[in-house]
Structures are given as C-alpha cells and as structure tokens.
Amino acid sequence: MSESTKPAYTKALPDMRPEGDHWWKAMHDHTFLLPTDAQGKPFWYPRALVPGTLEPVQWVEATGNGTVYTYSIHYFGPSKAYKGDPPHTVVLIDLEEGPRMMSLLVKDEEGYPSIDPDDVSIGMKVRLVFHDVTDEITLPKFVAA
C-alpha cells in the first residue's frame, strides 16, 4: 500500500454508501455524472433507484455548468476542523441539465480558497471543479464561470 501524497484532510468526509459507488468513482476520475430515469431525465442526488418508479438508475455525463439559485455565507463551521477558516459560501446550483444541487463556491482551483462573499450573487454563472481531498475521494465544488 502506497502512502498518500496529499496533505491530511481534516474536515468531514461524505458517508460513502454502495448506491453512490458509480458516482464517486466517476468523480474520482474527474467525470461529473447525473443519475437519470429511463427517458434520460436527470435528477439529483445519486441513488440506486429512480424516484417514483423504482427502476434502476442510468447515468449521463453532465457539463458541470450552472447558475447560483441561492447561497448562504457560513462564518462558523460545523466542527473544530473549520476553526479559523474564512467564511464558506454554500450554494444551491441550478445545473444546465435541470437538477439543483448543493455545494461550496470557491475562489479558484489553486488550493480551493473561499470566495469573497461580496463576489457572490444570485444568478451568477458557475462551473464545477474537482477537489481531490484524499487519494480516494473527490468532492464537487464550483467556481465563477
């Protein structure tokens, strides 16, 4: 087993469940997928069965482009791991493909620093970036497009 080349990530990690394995693998490979129903209509969040029909989920590659629907500036984190961090901008993004997802809006991909809250607005265009937080886990974050 090789040692990680990444600095230790001290913040909360997602609860990895088997129904999300396909999506997390794609994220690790820097591919953004959306789950769809049999007619190709995407929805959010990744799961094993299509809501309402209980049919198996299908997948489509998504652009990762969207628009800020709303946002919230968080000055205090949920744990000690966030102590001293700048404010975080939690956003709801309307993806081009239709679904709405929650994520963090960051300034850029160089260290994924928090964006200045004054630079955020409802309706701003954003694009997805891939943040490799561990050797196994890649989180979706967004930057201004």
CB 71 within 8 A of CB 115: no
Using 50, 70 and 90 to split pLDDT, how confident is the model at 8? confident
**Fold adopted by 18-144:** OB fold (Dihydrolipoamide Acetyltransferase, E2P) (2.40.50)
Lowest mean pLDDT: which of 15-29, 48-62, 78-92?
78-92
pTM of the model: 0.89
Average pLDDT over residues 47-55: 93
Q: For 95-104, how does the pLDDT look when each residue is reduced to its tens digit (9 = 90+)?
A: 999 999 999 9
> CB within 8 A of 68, min separation 6: which ones?
91, 92, 93, 94, 105, 120, 121, 122, 123, 124, 126
Average pLDDT over residues 80-88: 80
Q: For 69-83, how does the pLDDT look when each residue is reduced to its tens digit (9 = 90+)?
A: 999 999 887 778 777
